[in-house]
């Protein structure tokens, strides 16, 4: 076990295994990050004392020069000794601090073959969070997993869309064995892909499958606060039968005249053109020529999130204006720590990106 002392954070965090970023997020330290796979550079920090082992990363995320200057990527760095690190003033102290809470299942509803809508009621006061953030849910003795809130902040009822993964330990349990009234331990909120209070020229919110959850929360919050800019919600799924929560989308579009919903199907039935075909990043590339003044949020399968970021950057978006939550598998992360999600994702694009 090693200890990581983060400048401006009062208590050291302890790491048994895994990266500095994993441990920081588990302890609720408001550190910056995006891809969690060594490709965006958002989690860069400087090691002041101590030694870390560094997994593979893209050179664009961290140059050799920066490395020799002591900079590391927290999502790739595993401490070998106790370390002291400095985020150079980039800790996000305005996010609500993580709490540990107890909740009970209030609603459990299957929305389609894969997606379950879960509503949890938190004991006591509402758990504060920002629209777009996620929580770590623990069901009994199963390992905790990250799931994003779909509801508006400030409510004691937390809504989640959970996709049943084939062979998934936790999502399988949620889909098949969880019942109304069951207890759930919640820790959160976490994540920095939350709705900013700035006033951009446009908001592009991109969801792949269950990634609709945080994008819905963002769209609900933007609608409630009457953010005065166009809001484009792209929702990518494989086929029409994989769509869910149409009621919430229709209701919001009615409430918010500046909002448009773009459903994109990656496996369109020939002759059926009620919705657009392809992937969300392709739809965005055909809809926009300049994203430089826009804020871009995306959540869902890592290859989709990577493709959206790549497309947004190619259309002039600023790196600082792109916020992503790739729904990485913790099991896969532990087994394949050195393989980049974006590199993997781009290699797969167009062939087997699964929404
Ligand atoms: C920040 C964040 C937010 C998330 N929010 C949501 C959410 O709102 N809704 C939701 O459904 N999920 C979300 N996830 C994913 C979720 O945390 C779990 O990874 C997922 O439910 C699978 O857990 P499991 O225990 O069922 O599968 P495991 O038992 O961990 O894995 C079973 C098998 O499925 C594979 N696998 C697991 N997850 C994935 C994946 N995402 N893509 C490809 N293969 C995978 C594993 O490699 C393994 O082979 C989020 C993840 C993160 C990091
Ligand atoms: S490089 Fe670490 S979060 Fe992207």
Torsion of CA 197, 249, 166, 147, to 10 degrees: 30
Do strands 202-208 and 231-237 pair parallel, antiparallel, or not at all (unpaired)?
parallel
Give the burial class of 166: count Cβ atoms within 10 A of its Cβ; 0-12 exposed, 13-18 middle, 19 or more buried.
exposed
Note the pLDDT of residue 113.
Answer: 95
**Per-residue confidence in pLDDT tens, the chain, 355 aa:** 899 999 989 899 999 888 999 888 777 788 887 777 787 788 999 999 999 999 999 888 899 999 999 999 999 999 999 999 999 888 877 889 888 999 999 999 999 999 999 999 999 999 999 999 999 999 999 999 999 999 999 999 999 999 999 999 999 999 999 999 999 999 989 888 999 988 899 999 999 999 999 999 999 999 999 999 999 999 999 999 999 999 999 999 999 999 999 999 999 877 777 899 999 999 999 999 999 999 999 999 988 998 998 899 999 998 889 998 888 776 544 443 333 334 333 333 333 466 7
259 half-sphere exposure, CB direction, 13 A CA radius: 26
Per the structure block, which two tokens stand in for 186?
């919640």
Q: Minimum-distance ligand to the CA of 32? A: 2
Alpha carbon distance 97, 92 (integer Å): 10
Note the pLDDT of residue 343.
Answer: 39
* C-alpha of residue 46 to centroid of ligand 1, in Å: 30
Atom of ligand 2 lying closest to residue 35 CA: 4
Q: Is 161 in the pocket of ligand 1 (CB under 6 A)?
A: yes
Q: Is 328 in the pocket of ligand 1 (CB under 6 A)?
A: yes
Note the pLDDT of residue 349.
Answer: 37
Inter-axis angle of helices 246-255 and 212-224, nearest 10: 20
State which of 171, 216, 302, 354 you would mutate to test the pocket of ligand 1, scoring each by most atoms of that ligand within 8 A of its C-beta.
171
Note the pLDDT of residue 270.
Answer: 74
Reference 345, options 283, 316, 296, 302; nearest CA is 302
Note the pLDDT of residue 330.
Answer: 64
Q: Whose CA is nearest to atom 24 of ligand 1?
A: 168
Provide the terminal-to-terminal Cα distance of the chain, rounded to the nearest Å: 38
Ligand 2 pocket, CB under 6 A: 33-36, 38-43, 61, 73, 75
């Amino acid at each position: 076990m090693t200890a990581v002392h983060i400048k401006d954070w009062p208590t050291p965090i302890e790491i048994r295994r895994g990266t500095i970023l994993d441990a920081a997020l588990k302890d609720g330290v408001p550190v910056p990050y995006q891809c969690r796979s060594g490709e965006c550079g958002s989690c860069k920090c400087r090691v002041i004392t101590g030694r870390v082992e560094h997994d593979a990363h893209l050179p664009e995320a961290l140059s050799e020069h920066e490395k020799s200057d002591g900079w590391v990527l927290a999502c790739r760095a595993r401490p070998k000794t106790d370390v002291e690190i400095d985020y150079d003033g980039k800790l996000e102290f305005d996010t609500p601090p993580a709490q540990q809470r107890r909740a009970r299942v209030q609603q459990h509803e299957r929305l389609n073959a894969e997606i379950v809508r879960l509503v949890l009621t938190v004991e006591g006061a509402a758990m504060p969070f920002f629209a777009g953030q996620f929580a770590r849910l623990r069901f009994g003795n199963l390992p905790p997993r990250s799931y994003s809130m779909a509801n508006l902040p400030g409510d004691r009822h937390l809504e989640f869309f959970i996709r049943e993964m084939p062979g998934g330990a936790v999502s399988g349990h949620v889909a098949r064995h969880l019942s109304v009234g069951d207890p759930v331990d919640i820790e959160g909120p976490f994540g920095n892909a939350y709705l900013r209070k700035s006033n951009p020229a446009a908001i592009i919110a991109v969801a792949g499958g269950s990634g609709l959850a945080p994008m819905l929360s963002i769209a609900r919050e933007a609608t409630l606060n009457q953010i005065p800019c166009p809001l484009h919600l792209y929702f990518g799924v494989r086929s029409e039968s994989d769509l869910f929560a149409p009621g919430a989308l229709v209701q919001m579009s009615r409430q918010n005249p500046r909002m448009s919903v773009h459903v994109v199907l990656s496996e369109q039935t020939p002759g059926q053109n009620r919705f657009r075909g392809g992937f969300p990043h392709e739809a965005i590339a055909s809809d926009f020529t300049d994203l430089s003044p826009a804020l871009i949020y995306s959540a869902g399968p890592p290859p989709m999130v990577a493709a959206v970021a790549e497309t947004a950057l190619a259309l002039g978006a600023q790196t600082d204006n792109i916020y992503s939550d790739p729904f990485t598998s913790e099991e896969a992360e532990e087994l394949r720590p050195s393989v980049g999600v974006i590199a993997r994702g781009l290699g797969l694009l167009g062939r087997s990106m699964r929404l």
